Amino acid sequence: MASSRLERIGTIFTRTQGLIQSKALNWEDRPLWYDVYAAFPPKETPQYDRPVPNIKLKNIFYPEDRIRAIFHRNNKRIGATHLAGGGKSLTQKFIDVYSKLSVQYDGTATEEQIYKEAIEVLNRERGGAKEAQPQQEPDDVESVSLSMAFKEAQRKQQDQGISVRDIFKD
């Protein structure tokens, strides 16, 4: 069977419901999502032939995302983070230091100056440990602004011609 039209006949919920009613699927073996879907059905039925909504997607960048992007672009070998450790990651510590410094300077220093000082403070706090220590920013990148990483990402997205409407079309 080269292709199937099952996704075009009903929804996954109605097909699962039919399997349960015909005893092809035991009630105890129903999927985890079945009860949640039955209790809270969606406003619009997720049909295969439903037209794609024409909505504009919002950018969901937060102020710290700019800082995180430039930090990771300049420090490729940060090291792994132990998620069960409960402590803050090196990136989060850097963002905290950067935020404190930007409030302290209150617009009198440039983003690059605050970035360099935050790296220095973070290195001092870590006690000069070699492992997972962020690298200093190269000298030829002094004029790079924090928003440059996002502009580059947007340019790549536009070059590829990716559209949400195109993804959900037939």
**pLDDT for residue 130:** 43
CB atoms within 10 A of CB 90: 18
Query: In whole angstroms, how large is the CA radius of gyration of the chain?
Result: 25
Tell me: the pLDDT tens digits for 8-18? 778 889 989 99
Q: State the pLDDT at residue 164.
A: 61
Model pLDDT for residues 118-149, shown as the tens digit of each residue: 989 988 887 754 434 454 444 444 334 545 66
The rounded distance, in Å, linking the Cα atoms of 12 and 15 is 5
Residue 16 is predicted with a pLDDT of 93
Provide DSSP, 57-103: PPP---HHHHHHHHHHHH--------GGG-SPPHHHHHHHHHHHHHH
Q: Name the H helices within the chain.
A: 12-21, 33-39, 63-74, 90-105, 111-125, 148-160, 164-167
Contact status, residue 68 vs residue 98, Cβ threshold 8 Å: no
What is the H or E stretch that residue 9 is in? Answer: none
CB 136 within 8 A of CB 119: yes
